């Protein structure tokens, strides 16, 4: 079975391989998938986009053992990604889903372009099933309609209060609010994965309280520090849901998907390569 990854006017086939049936099924249910591509900040030689589903690792391959051209799912980052060279040192267990069935040079060139342009424009793409145009299937909601609708809207388009984060030219703006917002969303996303991993091992009532506090903290910071007036409302709603008689797994997974998407939209605003170059220049020029 092949997927087709398309971006920047080009297309590449990806062959699905291996026994990761649960993750593969979740992926296929999400197709066709519109993508916004991200450049890496730590691990290096890969391009990635955020997945609209949550699954535990299958097969547990060390990310540093992933060969060039690997197509993989990185659970605690909630990334789908393609590698094009050995990754830099980072400790993580990932799910191998397949491999690029084409020369790696095309992805390498795309990655170089993405690295230089992120924060200046969003490089979009699509992932689809080769030879088919299946209708994307949404699982039957087990959560309140207002939460589901708000999450769907968040995934469909970048919220206005995120888009305008770069508009301010007040003191230390826009860098201060953008970096604060991105960090808050990323840490919330990671913490919720920790909560998810603790299900069945620790008291559920305590985990609900912990998740609710984390959601409140992030929502409050986005609202009060970063002057966001739309996105925090969904996080506050999920905080309330943690205290409602709803399936805990479903609420946590929904919160992970929401937090990941918020962080992803903010990440796309940041010209990481230019900032890293400026940072190197500043620190290398000291004394």
Please report which confidence band the pLDDT of residue 140 belongs to, taking 50, 70 and 90 as the band edges: low
Please report which confidence band the pLDDT of residue 87 belongs to, taking 50, 70 and 90 as the band edges: confident
Mean pLDDT of 235-251: 97
Mean pLDDT of 225-232: 95
Beta strands in 65-154 (DSSP E): 70-74, 79-83, 93-100, 124-129
Instruction: Say if residue 136's pLDDT is above 80.
Output: no
Instruction: Output the pTM of the full model.
Output: 0.93
Please report which confidence band the pLDDT of residue 1 belongs to, taking 50, 70 and 90 as the band edges: confident
| 249-to-162, 163, 213 alpha-carbon distances in Å | 28, 31, 17
Q: What is the per-residue pLDDT for 139?
A: 60
What mean pLDDT, rounded, does the chain reach? 93
Q: What is the per-residue pLDDT for 134?
A: 52
Mean pLDDT of 76-91: 86
Q: Which of 218, 222, 213 is nearest to 240 (CA)?
A: 213
Instruction: Say if residue 133's pLDDT is above 60.
Output: no
- All structural domains of the chain with their residue ranges: 2-129, 145-272
**What residues pair up with 50 in beta bridges, in sequence order?**
79
Please report which confidence band the pLDDT of residue 90 belongs to, taking 50, 70 and 90 as the band edges: confident
Does residue 3 contact residue 98 with C-beta atoms inside 8 Å? yes
Q: What is the per-residue pLDDT for 62?
A: 85
- The residues, any chain, with a CB within 8 Å of residue 71's CB and separated by 6 or more, are 3, 14, 16, 80, 81, 82, 96, 97, 98, 99, 100
Does residue 98 contact residue 18 with C-beta atoms inside 8 Å? yes
CA 236, 149, 184, 181 torsion-angle sign: negative
Query: What architecture (CATH level 2) is domain 2-129?
Result: Beta Barrel (2.40)
| 174-to-22, 154, 247, 269, 280 alpha-carbon distances in Å | 41, 22, 39, 10, 20
């Amino acid at each position: 079975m092949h997927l087709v990854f398309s971006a920047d006017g080009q297309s590449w086939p990806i062959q699905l391989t291996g026994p990761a049936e649960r993750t593969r099924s979740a992926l296929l249910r999400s197709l066709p998938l519109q993508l916004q591509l991200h450049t890496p900040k730590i691990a290096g030689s890969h391009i990635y986009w955020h997945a609209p589903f949550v699954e535990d690792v299958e097969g547990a391959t060390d990310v540093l053992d992933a060969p060039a051209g690997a197509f993989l799912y990185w659970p605690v980052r909630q990334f789908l990604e393609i590698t094009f060279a050995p990754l830099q040192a980072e400790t993580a267990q990932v799910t191998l889903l397949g491999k690029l069935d084409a020369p790696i040079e095309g992805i390498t060139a795309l990655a170089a372009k993405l690295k230089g342009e992120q924060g200046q424009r969003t490089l979009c793409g699509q992932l689809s099933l080769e030879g088919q145009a299946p209708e994307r299937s949404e699982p039957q909601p087990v959560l309140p309609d207002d939460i589901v609708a708000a999450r769907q809207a968040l995934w469909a388009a970048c919220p206005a209060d995120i888009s305008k984060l770069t508009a301010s030219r007040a003191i230390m703006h826009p860098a201060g609010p953008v970096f604060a917002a991105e960090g808050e969303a990323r840490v919330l996303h990671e913490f919720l994965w920790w909560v998810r991993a603790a299900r069945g091992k620790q008291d559920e009532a305590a985990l609900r309280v912990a998740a609710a506090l984390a959601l409140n903290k992030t929502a409050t910071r986005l609202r009060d520090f970063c002057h966001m007036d739309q996105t925090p409302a969904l996080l506050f709603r999920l905080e309330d849901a943690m205290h409602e008689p709803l399936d805990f797994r479903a609420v946590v997974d929904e919160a992970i998907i929401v937090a990941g998407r918020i962080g992803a939209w903010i990440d796309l605003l940041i010209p990481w390569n230019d900032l890293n170059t400026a940072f190197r220049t500043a620190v290398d020029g000291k004394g």
